């Protein structure tokens, strides 16, 4: 399992850097400061959790248990829901698309996944 988490962390890391570069150079010309702030938050939290996922992959070798495994899965879900929803909100601004109000509530769900992942990591190390 740890290699899968390492590969996922590497992929999400590449994606973080690419999206961060896009946000820093291309996005500023097409959206307002508020949308840029939302996008930067998405990139920042995704990048933080790249390291969290890599940590899970390394720790899984030492602390093989379901809680450590769940921590990695929850971090991935957190990136998908938290950062993904913020990316969607930004791109909605890029294409001037109204509606899609269901996207906003996904962000705190992703935050809950992040928190649950950290709790699982803590408990998995204590186990």
Tell the burial category of 80 from Cβ atoms under 10 Å away from its Cβ (0-12, 13-18, 19+): middle
Please give the Cα distance from 73 to 83 (Å, whole number).
15
First vs last Cα of the chain: how many Å apart? 18
Q: What is the pLDDT of residues 2-55, one digit of tens each?
A: 889 999 999 999 999 999 999 888 888 888 899 899 999 999 999 999 999 999
pLDDT, position 1: 62
Torsion over CA: 97, 101, 102, 103 (sign): positive
Q: What is the pLDDT of residues 86-99, one digit of tens each?
A: 999 988 877 777 77
Identify whether the C-beta of residue 39 lies closer than 8 Å to the C-beta of residue 23.
yes
């Amino acid at each position: 399992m740890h290699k899968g988490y390492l590969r996922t962390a590497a992929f999400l890391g590449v994606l973080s850097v690419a999206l961060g570069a896009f946000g820093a150079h291309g996005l500023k010309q097409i959206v307002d400061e508020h949308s840029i702030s939302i996008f930067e938050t998405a990139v920042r939290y995704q990048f933080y959790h790249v390291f969290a996922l890599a940590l899970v992959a390394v720790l899984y070798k030492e602390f093989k248990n379901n809680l450590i495994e769940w921590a990695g899965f929850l971090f991935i879900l957190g990136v998908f829901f938290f950062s993904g929803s913020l990316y969607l909100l930004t791109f909605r601004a890029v294409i001037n698309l109204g509606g899609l109000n269901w996207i906003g509530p996904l962000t705190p769900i992703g935050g809950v996944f992040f928190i649950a992942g950290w709790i699982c990591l803590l408990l998995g190390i204590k186990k």
